[in-house]
Structure 1
């Protein structure tokens, strides 16, 4: 998978994508290292528009309000994963 990722975008593009998603994480109170790592990994493995999917768009707000990140990710429907895969 790593080799495939490197062939698609440049390291600078990956860095920018992860940085953008970590800013979203910070703005929404996602401060725990495991959740931040996972959230930034989603920026690498999913399409660039995954945050715009209806199932994901409210997730940061729910986490900010106290929902458990891992539970919220686990609750994402199969459709989300199919529609946002790279």
Structure 2
């Protein structure tokens, strides 16, 4: 990535036009998850219990049948580290 102005990225200053290498840590972090896309905390909190159970069933969450809506929300929020 390049900028037309001086910029500080991850604690290091770069001059205009200088190439800044991006780290792929977020892509790697979510690449190991079975979900198509990571959800936001708001999206998870707004989901109905049926939608959460469907999502859990599609992604082989252990014991999802006995879990309540709030426990499924807590599970997904902790899984995505939100």
TM-score grouping bracket, smaller chain normalisation:
under 0.3
Larger Rg: 2
Higher helix share: 1
Structure with more contact order per residue of length (Cα contacts < 8 Å, sep ≥ 6): 1
State TM-score, norm by structure 1. 0.27
